[in-house]
Structure 1
Amino acid sequence: MLYTMLLRAISVLSFRTFTQGVRELERFHHRIETTTLPIPEELNKRKRIILGELRERTLWFISLRWWVPPSIAAACAAGSLAKVQFAALPVLAVALFILAYNGLFYAHSKLMQQQLEWQPELVQRFTHCQVALDYTAMFLLIHFTGGASSPLIFFFIFHIIFASILLRPLTAYGFASLAAVGMTIISAAEYQGWLRQYPVIYRENFINLIDSPFHLLVTLGFFSMSVFITAFLTTAIMIMLRKRIVSLAELSERLTDLNKKLNSLYMMTQTILSTPRLDQVLGKVVTELAQVMNVQGSSVKLLSEDGKQLRYAAVHGLPVEWTNNKVVEVDKSPLNRRIIEGEPFVTGHATQREMFQFGEDLVAAQLQSVLFVPLMVEKRVTGILGAYCRLHDRFHEEDVEFFRQSAGLVAVALENARAYEAVEKLLRDRSWFMMRVAHNLRAPVSAIASILDVVRSGYLGELNPDQNEYLRRVDRRARTMLQIIEELMILATSSRQERALAFASIDVIELARRIRRTFQDEAAQKGLSFAVTVPDQAPAIRGDFEMIEQMLENLISNAIKYSPAGGNVNVVFSLTNNDTVRIEVSDNGIGIPKADMPRLFSEFFRAENARSIEEHGTGLGLAIVKEIVEQHEGRILVESEEGFGTIFVVHLPVARKEEKQ
């Protein structure tokens, strides 16, 4: 009857010891099952933390319990050696009992660890059984080692300390109460003779508080005070520590959030630097902002040049019909007018009564919180950056500050993208003008060259030496002009094509064969050694065959032109480790002065030593080479020393599998 009462008390209290963790976990489950919004990752993270803590706590008790039976056996052996008389067999039986049920707990924990996720009710029952059996074993040990006179009664303090550290304050006081009440019940039962006494005897002396009720009451009183004081002090310390832990956790969350936002700003900066086009920049920015702020949508509205209208330039997470071709009239929207004047706006309860021109759209989309900040560059507003969320009062002061910084980056991106588009337009206009002028000049200059051929051939009569010399000079100038016109048309055509070229697979061996055939006679006539080297298993190049051939012709013709008789011109094809074909064109000609290297690929530029060898030249050949290489997503390098020759190295990507087919 007595042990039944004790076990019931232990069961009730052990249930309460684990309840706070399980209840908190159940609240997480309830929120997950009842909410209609997407569950934030932070909520799932905290759920996993709670489950992990409960799991580690349970497994730690099992590991600690393995030391109890050997300690009891060692204490029994030491007592026997010291001639201490006590009920050793019942005590050892309790030790075996602890060893047995801990083995069962260990086996059960292994089965539970195989599960991907522990269920709260399973953890609850598991811990319930552990606490109940531990307290049963503790009371049995005390009973078999003297009852109220047992030296083990103060071992309860360890349980109180563990409870105060791991559990709530009320639970720790509950353990203290259970220890005090349990000891009182055992003492009363032994005093009344309901339980047999098992005294600890040393040299025929033993302490038996049952025979002295006063001393028994004093001992129980001090024991009760000890456990409650232990619970109070440990709990007070743990309350302070928990507050510090909560404070550190909040600080850690803020630092994590700040790091996430800083990383987002860095990613936006990288996007701005790597993506020059306006639509691409804005699309990536609004997506990044919506993700880092964990909101439903974000938008960028651009202000018209006259400042009267706002149009949606980029959106993320908002209904298409909500922003498609929708224009906000600034005069009809006091809110947007205030933002354009430089004042940010934030609200956590957006309704139709707010100053929104399309407030009903917010209500229809169930968007409760909005945040708008102006896009400003040098005190000039170019648009509005917005964020939208379905939660009430979602945005706080730190969100506004982060959005201000983001708006500054977006405004810079807008200016850079617009400047890039303006430069592109200028380049297109220049290419169109070059094409137009070259086209209009080519026909008359070709006619002049043809007429000069007729006159110099004597068809209109014999020419004296002076007339023939003057006509020769005119013909040379006309053909130089015709070459300039042809190269201008090539440069304009390549610039206008941009990246709309139909790339295909280029056979490197065939390309090398054509280059060799084109220049071998010219090099031989000048007394140059000309060689083209290509590996037998050379991979195909991705590009336009005619443009690649023209690029190589420009490089090789320059090498032959500026190399003295007896020199060497070599073209070498090879494969690199990064899936590119390396093409090297080298000579031992006049080289390039160091001062002229920075302007080498500029249009109409010629080095001074090149002018001394050939007075007339277009200065467009290397500009065309650079344009073609860039259009093929390649790169060109040059090494040169005046008087010792020049090496041009071009890297072009190999063909893709689908292009090879």
Structure 2
Amino acid sequence: MTLPEKGADPSLEPGYELVKQQLFFRKELIERVHWFIRVRWFAVGGAVVGAWALHLLEPKFPLLAVTLLALGIFLYNLIFRAACRRLDTSKGLEVRPFTTFAHIQISLDLLALYGMIYFTGGIYSPLLLFVIFHIIIAGLLFRPLACYLYSFSCLVAAAALVGLVQVEILPEQPILLQSSLVPHLLLAQQSMREVMLLFAFFGAAVLITAFLITTIRGSLWTKGQDLLKISKDLDASNAKLTALYEVVKRMGLCADLQELLDLATRSTASIMGVKGASIKLLDESRRKLIFSSTYGLSENYLAKGTIDIEKSPINRRIIEGSFLTMGSIDEEDYFQYPEDIRKEGIASMVCLPLRVEKMPLGVFCMYSEISYDFSENDIKFFSLLSDLTALAIETLRGEINKTWFLQKAAHQLRSPFGAIYSLMKVLRKGYLGPVSEQQQDAILRCEKRLEILGTMVNDLLKLGIKRQHQDRAEIQPVDGVKVLRALEELYASSASEKGVAVDFVIEESVPELMADGKLLDELFGNLISNA
């Protein structure tokens, strides 16, 4: 789990879960609302066809009443269809309209069902079992309380139906589909004991169904919440890994150490969702830490400059290989400048060593402005980020050292090489005295070897310049006179053997140039060589 974005309230985190749950069950309600309407068309057709079929088997079947009830269901289903289309145009995240709509549908369906139950035998009607289907649907879509309310309402409706018939408020209906050996009985002719026993079985079936479905639904709800949490964690992990991949890719393209460090601190604060981050590297004495890169921290916090490791127990422990996580900054003994930390608004922090294998390079810290106990996953991810940053720093330092060596070697070799090569030509052409044919052949072989060496020196110089400036040139004041004077000695001997004199006329008042010294040296060298 990561910290909320800067300025966010952690208490809003449950709200995020609530919205996701609402979206999940809103989708289910929308599907069920449409499904209810589609199924109701089949129910109307089945009721009409079944009524005519039962009327043929049982002449006393109340065909007209059942047909009128089916017509009523057909009409209010048309209204439901129009209302459903209006709800479909709603783009809000509110679940309540769909919940209310589903309650209205189930309530009207139960009312119509109890009408059919009354006309088909009351408590003895075979349609009484259809009540359980509505209890199952209510248990799946609504809260357990709503399911039990529907269950008790169905029991009350069944009891009221029996009572109204007993007190003769409602006319008695014949019990349908009885054996031809037994005459049609009226409800009033049944013993109260038999009626109560049947009602008890019906009530038990309804309540047991409600209990089972709400229990299963509760278990599914819990598993659904777990899935939502896992989904959120996976989304967060995927976002972190994607961001980490982008950071590592950009680190691999950095040719400047400061650019790499700034990228690491800025990306860490963004990925982890914290106030800021800092990288402190060890100086050459390895006794002090220098703020090499920061993000999200004020200049006042950095004004103290270097940190003495001996006076900062927290940094000393980290350099030795430990990591430190503090959910609340309240222990002054850990810090060299505790008052600056409070002024900066830092409430919690995590610090890890920057190291390659067992060699420490510095300290990598991230800071939060709220009190927070970082989780184990946070520490592991930040540790991975720290290790990758340390590896990138060490790799880039190695590349910089290689570039420096190539440039140094090329510049140190070029001047003596030019002098030796020019002298060999002077000797071979007899400017310093007669040379035998055998001596000329030996000198010529030496010149060829020197030409190969010269090509290699030039390639080394170009490679070093290319490696250093593959991203950008290092623009700074350059003394052009000094650069030209260094080239004058190099090309003077080469020009003399061709009978050409090289004379540099340079005014001493020439101002410094804003350029890259190495590129300027290469430019002048190419111009003179081509001339």
User: TM class by shorter-chain length?
Assistant: 0.7 to 0.9
Tell whether the 8 Å contact from 1:339 to 1:345 is kept in structure 2 after alignment: yes
Task: Write the distance in 1 (CA, Å) between the matches of 2:466 and 2:293.
Answer: 25
1:454 to 1:418, Cα distance in 2 relative to 1, 3 A: closer
Shift of 1:152: 1.9
1:251 to 1:274, Cα distance in 2 relative to 1, 3 A: same
One-letter identity of the residue aligned with 1:480? K
Which residue in the other structure is 1:399 paired with? 378
Which residue in the other structure is 1:161 paired with? 136
Shift of 1:78: 2.4
Where 1:222 maps in the other structure, the secondary structure is: helix
Which residue in the other structure is 2:501 paired with? none
Task: Write the distance in 1 (CA, Å) between the matches of 2:33 and 2:343.
Answer: 49
Task: Write the distance in 1 (CA, Å) between the matches of 2:175 and 2:65.
Answer: 13
Q: Is 2:470 the partner of 1:494?
A: no
Task: Write the distance in 1 (CA, Å) between the matches of 2:100 and 2:222.
Answer: 29
Q: Please, which of 302, 310, 325 is the counterpart of residue 281 of structure 2?
A: 302
1:478 to 1:251, Cα distance in 2 relative to 1, 3 A: closer
Tell whether the 8 Å contact from 1:269 to 1:409 is kept in structure 2 after alignment: yes
Task: Write the distance in 2 (CA, Å) between the matches of 1:53 and 1:360.
Answer: 55
Which TM-score applies when normalising by structure 1?
0.60
Task: Write the distance in 2 (CA, Å) between the matches of 1:364 and 1:46.
Answer: 41
Where 1:498 maps in the other structure, the secondary structure is: helix
Task: Write the distance in 2 (CA, Å) between the matches of 1:396 and 1:502.
Answer: 39
Where 1:311 maps in the other structure, the secondary structure is: strand
Task: Write the distance in 1 (CA, Å) between the matches of 2:423 and 2:287.
Answer: 52
Kindly report which structure 2 residues correspond to 1:433-452, keeping only aligned pairs within 5 A, or say none: 433-441=412-420, 444-445=423-424, 447-448=426-427, 452=429
Which residue in the other structure is 2:329 paired with? 350
Task: Write the distance in 1 (CA, Å) between the matches of 2:461 and 2:149.
Answer: 89
Task: Write the distance in 2 (CA, Å) between the matches of 1:130 and 1:318.
Answer: 59
Task: Write the distance in 2 (CA, Å) between the matches of 1:324 and 1:71.
Answer: 84
One-letter identity of the residue aligned with 1:497? I
Which residue in the other structure is 2:212 paired with? 233
Which blocks of at least 5 consecutive residues in structure 2 are unaligned? 473-531
Shift of 1:118: 4.2
Where 1:153 maps in the other structure, the secondary structure is: helix
Shift of 1:228: 1.0
1:51 to 1:240, Cα distance in 2 relative to 1, 3 A: closer
Tell whether the 8 Å contact from 2:22 to 2:94 is kept in structure 1 after alignment: no
Q: Is 2:60 the partner of 1:85?
A: yes
Q: Please, which of 133, 142, 158 is the counterpart of residue 108 of structure 2?
A: 133
String of CA shifts for 1:542-564, please: whole Å, max 9, x gaps: xxxxxxxxxxxxxxxxxxxxxxx
1:244 to 1:196, Cα distance in 2 relative to 1, 3 A: same
Which residue in the other structure is 2:400 paired with? 421
One-letter identity of the residue aligned with 2:105? Q
Tell whether the 8 Å contact from 1:352 to 1:360 is kept in structure 2 after alignment: no
Shift of 1:391: 4.6
One-letter identity of the residue aligned with 2:135? I
Shift of 1:226: 1.6
Shift of 1:425: 1.6
One-letter identity of the residue aligned with 2:366? A
Where 2:354 maps in the other structure, the secondary structure is: strand
Task: Write the distance in 2 (CA, Å) between the matches of 1:502 and 1:233.
Answer: 69
1:165 to 1:441, Cα distance in 2 relative to 1, 3 A: same
One-letter identity of the residue aligned with 1:476? L
1:282 to 1:194, Cα distance in 2 relative to 1, 3 A: farther
1:105 to 1:424, Cα distance in 2 relative to 1, 3 A: farther
Q: Please, which of 122, 127, 136 is the counterpart of residue 97 of structure 2?
A: 122
One-letter identity of the residue aligned with 2:151? A
Tell whether the 8 Å contact from 2:258 to 2:292 is kept in structure 1 after alignment: yes
Task: Write the distance in 1 (CA, Å) between the matches of 2:287 and 2:159.
Answer: 86
Shift of 1:347: 2.1
Which blocks of at least 5 consecutive residues in structure 1 are unaligned? 1-30, 504-661
Kindly report which structure 2 residues correspond to 1:143-222, keeping only aligned pairs within 5 A, or say none: 143-202=118-177, 205-211=183-189, 212-222=191-201
Q: Is 2:16 the partner of 1:48?
A: no
1:406 to 1:92, Cα distance in 2 relative to 1, 3 A: same
Q: Is 2:61 the partner of 1:59?
A: no
Task: Write the distance in 2 (CA, Å) between the matches of 1:264 and 1:316.
Answer: 17
Tell whether the 8 Å contact from 2:151 to 2:206 is kept in structure 1 after alignment: yes
Shift of 1:180: 0.9
Tell whether the 8 Å contact from 1:142 to 1:152 is kept in structure 2 after alignment: yes
Task: Write the distance in 2 (CA, Å) between the matches of 1:166 and 1:269.
Answer: 47
Kindly report which structure 2 residues correspond to 1:260-659, keeping only aligned pairs within 5 A, or say none: 270=249, 275=254, 277-318=256-297, 322-323=301-302, 326-351=305-330, 353=332, 355-360=334-339, 362-364=341-343, 366-441=345-420, 444-445=423-424, 447-448=426-427, 452=429, 469-470=437-438, 472-473=440-441, 476-477=444-445, 479-480=447-448, 483-484=451-452, 487=455, 490-498=458-466, 500=469
String of CA shifts for 1:571-599, please: whole Å, max 9, x gaps: xxxxxxxxxxxxxxxxxxxxxxxxxxxxx
Task: Tell me the matched-pair count.
Answer: 461
String of CA shifts for 1:228-257, please: whole Å, max 9, x gaps: 111122223333444444455555555565
Which residue in the other structure is 1:620 paired with? none
Task: Write the distance in 2 (CA, Å) between the matches of 1:55 and 1:322.
Answer: 55
One-letter identity of the residue aligned with 1:345? L
Which has the higher mean CA deviation after the structures are superposed, 324-333 or 152-161?
Answer: 324-333
String of CA shifts for 1:44-101, please: whole Å, max 9, x gaps: 6555334434433433433433332122123213212322523222322222322333
Task: Write the distance in 2 (CA, Å) between the matches of 1:94 and 1:362.
Answer: 77
Which has the higher mean CA deviation after the structures are superposed, 181-190 or 287-296?
Answer: 287-296
One-letter identity of the residue aligned with 1:305? E
Structure richer in helix, relative to its length: 2
Tell whether the 8 Å contact from 1:312 to 1:323 is kept in structure 2 after alignment: yes
Tell whether the 8 Å contact from 1:94 to 1:140 is kept in structure 2 after alignment: yes
Which has the higher mean CA deviation after the structures are superposed, 388-397 or 353-362?
Answer: 353-362
Shift of 1:227: 0.9
Shift of 1:474: 6.0
Which residue in the other structure is 1:618 paired with? none
1:369 to 1:170, Cα distance in 2 relative to 1, 3 A: farther
1:386 to 1:56, Cα distance in 2 relative to 1, 3 A: farther
Tell whether the 8 Å contact from 1:348 to 1:368 is kept in structure 2 after alignment: yes
Where 1:152 maps in the other structure, the secondary structure is: helix
Task: Write the distance in 2 (CA, Å) between the matches of 1:314 and 1:38.
Answer: 32
Which TM-score applies when normalising by structure 2?
0.73
Which has the higher mean CA deviation after the structures are superposed, 175-184 or 353-362?
Answer: 353-362
Which has the higher mean CA deviation after the structures are superposed, 309-318 or 185-194?
Answer: 309-318
Where 1:395 maps in the other structure, the secondary structure is: coil
